[in-house]
Amino acid sequence: MSATIKIADHVAELERMGEKILNLSTGAPHFPTPPSIVTATMQALRENKTGYSDSRGIYQLRKRLCDYYNEQFGTNLKPEENILITPGGKQAILYCMLSLLEPGDEVLIPSPAWVSFAEIVKIAGGIPVTVDCNSENDFEFSLEQIQKVVTKKTKALIINSPCNPTGKIIKSNLLNDIHQFCKKNNIFVFSDEIYDKIVFSGYEHSSLLQVDQTLQNSVILNGFSKTYAMTGWRLGYIIGPSELIDGMVKLQQNSVTCPTTFIQFGVLNGFDECKSFPQHALNSYQENRDFLLKEFESLKNFRLIKPEGAFYGFIDVSKLSTDSVDFCFQLLNTCKVAAVPGVAFGNSGEGFIRISFATSKDALAEFVRRIRAIWG
Ligand code: PLP
């Protein structure tokens, strides 16, 4: 049983015993889904948009998304070829790895990284190769670190910016260097951009599409879960070269058939009316992040990596414990706070914990009060 599951089980057990746990472990926005999307989805149901859709996803939504990227980045994405709508971003990563990898292919993952990347690579028969980033350098990585671990079996590199769990953003010159190097060495770059609209002031998100407009060896993942507070709806998409997308369509056709039809219509018809929602959510994350940065200045036993995007605080607790699982149990038992142990994101995350600050300011103030009371 993984450490994170053990902690989740312990949280559930404490809650059953009547304890109130301050749960900062979940990576989901604390807002409800925008009402215009809910209303448009209900309308789609009333209009009986309840049958199967095209396996690639409804054409109108694919076109909307392609138009958006083409306008923004001068690309020439075609709704018939370059995009697949999926039931969530996670499923899109699974399709991508299943279509791309042969048994024994290696996939490079700069780490700490979101837990599912390595697991999905393994499910697809590949071998995840972590590129351990240095905490002293706030987990920034360089092209040289990637070059060092490339072998003849390297098939792909997974990047994620803004990053879950560190909140770091890959700067455009590094992105460009990564693309050039990978193109030369026939390595696919898989860019998870699911937090692209959660970027704090002073920082900028660069999409892989900006540096590889013709999608030679690039795949881009995105979705609605984080930007539109829709984690339970399950809707994501993947953009890539047509041959790769065709392979993924076969996987979708023969597994789930299509993403839920009325949800696709709900998003298509609802999102014009909630264009301001991502900014409204971002304002709240920005406030929470600034609050935490300020508070952590005076918490001498903790160091918060400065989040540049996403809504996670990656906190160095190594002055108190070098065993992040053990520390999370202490945090749970003494402060009644649930967090994720850093080691769950790879060995380089050991000595850290991850909290989500997609929550109320009051909850964060209470978190700080409780840890200050015990560990100063
Ligand atoms: N990618 C990253 C980096 C994530 O953190 C998550 C969810 O936590 C996902 C992808 C998957 O999102 P979903 O499957 O809800 O679209």
240 lines ligand 1 (CB under 6 A): no
In a domain, 36, yes or no: no
CA of 225 to the centre of ligand 1 (A): 7
Atom of ligand 1 nearest to the CA of 163: 3
Is 70 exceeded by the pLDDT of residue 1?
Answer: no
The tokens describing 305, both together, are: 């990596």
Q: Per-residue pLDDT for 143 more than 90?
A: yes
185 & 58 share domain: yes
| Test site for ligand 1: of 96, 194, 195, most ligand atoms within 8 A of the Cβ | 194
Other Cβ atoms closer than 10 A to 283: 10
Residue to substitute in 114, 227, 234, 267 for testing ligand 1 pocket (most ligand atoms within 8 angstroms of CB): 114
Shared domain check, 195 and 312: no
Instruction: Report the range of poorest mean pLDDT among 5-9, 21-25, 58-62, 368-372.
Output: 5-9
Domain endpoint, select from 229, 249, 273: 273
Q: Which residues are CB-contacts of 303 (< 8 A; sequence separation ≥ 6)?
A: 296, 315, 316
Determine, yes or no, domain membership for 203. Answer: yes
What pLDDT band is residue 192 in, cutting at 50, 70 and 90? very high
Whole-angstrom distance, CA of residue 303 vs CA of residue 317: 7
Q: Are residues 188 and 137 in the same domain?
A: yes
The neighbouring-strand residues paired with 237 are 85, 222
Residue 192, ligand 1, Cβ within 6 A? yes
Rg (C-alpha) for the chain, rounded Å, is 21
pLDDT of 39-68, one tens digit each? 999 999 999 999 999 999 999 999 999 999
**What distance in angstroms lies between residue 299's CA and the mean position of ligand 1's atoms?**
30
Contact assessment for residue 237 and residue 92, using Cβ atoms and an 8 Å cutoff: yes
**Residue 10's pLDDT band (cuts 50, 70, 90):** confident
Asked whether residue 34 is assigned to any structural domain, the reply reads no
The reply to whether 263 and 136 lie within a common domain is yes
Asked if the structure places residue 32 within a domain, the reply is no
Q: Looking at residue 211, which CATH number applies to its domain?
A: 3.40.640.10
DSSP3 helix / strand / coil % (the chain, rounded to 5): 45, 15, 40
Ligand 1 atom closest to residue 224's alpha carbon, by position in its atom list: 16
Q: What CA–CA distance (Å, rounded) separates 101 from 291?
A: 43
Distance from Cα 293 to the centre of ligand 1, integer Å: 25
Q: How many CB atoms lie within 10 A of CB 102?
A: 10
Provide the pLDDT confidence category of residue 231 given band limits of 50, 70 and 90: very high
> Does residue 236's CB lie within 6 angstroms of at least one atom of ligand 1?
yes
Instruction: Convert the pLDDT of each residue in 264-320 to its tens digit.
Output: 999 999 999 999 999 999 999 999 999 999 999 999 999 999 999 999 999 999 999
| For the chain, percent of residues with pLDDT exceeding 90 | 94
Does residue 228 sit in the same domain as residue 130?
yes
Domain count, the chain: 2
Q: How far is the CA of 182 from the centre of ligand 1 (A)?
A: 24
In this structure, are strands 154-160 and 127-132 parallel, antiparallel, or unpaired? unpaired
Catalogue the E-assigned strands of 33-187. 83-86, 106-111, 127-132, 154-160
Substitution site in 116, 158, 198 for ligand 1 pocket (most atoms within 8 Å of beta carbon): 116
Q: How far apart are CA 267 and CA 255, in angstroms?
A: 23
CB 62 within 8 A of CB 85: yes
Whichever domain contains 346, its CATH number is 3.90.1150.10
Would the pLDDT of 4 be above 80? no
Q: pLDDT tens for residues 157-191?
A: 999 999 999 999 999 999 999 999 999 999 999 99
281 lies in the same domain as 267: no
251 and 151, same domain (yes or no): yes
CA distance 165 to 179: 23
- What pLDDT does residue 6 have? 82
59 CA to centre of ligand 1 in angstroms = 24
The answer on 334 and 293 residing in a single domain is yes
Chosen domain end from 273, 292, 308: 273
Distance 89 CA to ligand 1 centre (A): 6
Mutate to test the pocket of ligand 1, among 93, 198, 225, 345 (most ligand atoms within 8 A of CB): 225
Cα–ligand 1 centroid distance for 157 (angstroms): 17
Span 70-129, pLDDT tens digits = 999 999 999 999 999 999 999 999 999 999 999 999 999 999 999 999 999 999 999 999
Residues 243 and 352 placed together within one structural domain of the fold: no
Q: Phi, psi (5° rounding) for residue 138?
A: 55, 30
Which one of 120, 121, 170, 226 would you pick to mutate in the ligand 1 pocket, going by the greatest count of ligand atoms within 8 A of its CB? 226
Domain boundary among 230, 255, 273: 273
Whether 234 and 96 share a structural domain: yes
Q: Is residue 39 part of a domain?
A: no
Q: Is residue 73 part of a domain?
A: yes
- The pLDDT score that the predictor gives to residue 348 is 96
What is the identity of the amino acid at 293? L
Cβ of residue 193 lying under 6 Å from some atom of ligand 1: no
- Residue 94 neighbours by CB under 8 Å, 6+ apart: 120, 123, 124
In the reported structure, the alpha carbon of residue 194 is separated from the centroid of ligand 1 by a whole-number distance in angstroms of: 7
- On whether both 63 and 164 belong to a single domain, the answer is yes
- pLDDT value of residue 179: 96
3-state secondary structure of 317: coil
Within this chain, do residues 8 and 151 fall inside the same structural domain, yes or no? no
**How high is the pLDDT of residue 208?**
97
Domain that holds residue 109: 49-273
- 376 domain-assigned: no
